[in-house]
Amino acid sequence: MGCATVAVTGRSQLNLVSDAELVKTANESFAQLMNAASSKGAVLQSTESPEAANTITTVNRVSGRIIDAAGLRGKYNWQVTVLKSNVPNAFVMPNGKIVVYTGLFPIVKTEAGLAAVIGHEVAHVVARHSAERASQVLLAQTAAQAADAALAAKNNKNRPAIAAALGLGAQYGLLLPFSRQHESEADRIGQLYMAKAGYDPAEAIAVWERMAAQSGGSRFEFTSTHPSEQTRQVQLRQWLPEAQLF
């Protein structure tokens, strides 16, 4: 109970949240996102211009190839949305909703670059990282509540400080490292998917080189939910021979 295995990597993971719960939450979040974006006119429409139509067609084509490579064609109600924003971002919800921001295109530059990003995001869904993160938070909250109850029973005068320390310990010792592990795992699985879909997996490295150039330098990984761009490039180079087998 509460244990599962990640597809492709075989890593064991904590699993306390069902797919039904994930999909329900994702449906609500996506509806809110679309309502807000629509009210601002931020949803890109193919009727706006030939360039907009080409962008939407490209995103749909790349997404479809990645979905097929992951073997997920019939599992979710897939829907692709492009939002007008300068933010270089994209994500895939655990209900099959793919959202790509126009600010991502200057970085990905090519279909292969876009496949690297969408492959990474689809990999998060396949690996059920959302469920694992929710499970980790639940576990950390339960542990903190138990410790707080024990301190309260002893009327410990240091209870607030100890509780705060426990919170930081969970954040930096458990939640953030696991989040970085999830990102690295999605990088590896996504690189395999893009290769299986017919794209050059080496382009995933190039995407993060361009991302690093735009970010202006590395961050402290200790306080980040993501590995640094430099770490991702090193790891993707290590995994490249595996991806090139496809």
DSSP state of 245: T
Tokens found for residue 186: 């999605």
Catalytic residue among 121, 132, 203, 229: 121
Query: Is 132 known to be catalytic?
Result: no
The radius of gyration computed from the CA coordinates of the chain, to the nearest angstrom, equals 20
> For 40-95, where are the alpha helices, taking DSSP H only?
50-69
CA quadruple 149, 154, 156, 160: dihedral, nearest 10: 10
Nearest Cα residue to 92 out of 123, 55, 136, 69? 123
Tokens found for residue 18: 């069902």
For the sheet with 97-101, list strands across it. 79-83, 97-101, 90-92
**Distances 177 to 5, 109, 170 between C-alpha atoms, Å:** 18, 30, 10
DSSP for 4-21? Answer: EE-TTT--EEE--S-HHH
Distance of CA 50 to the CA centre of its chain: 30
Alpha carbons 58 and 191: distance in angstroms, whole number: 19
Alpha carbons 66 and 63: distance in angstroms, whole number: 5
127: left (phi over 0), alpha (psi -120 to 50) or beta: alpha
Give the active site residues: 121
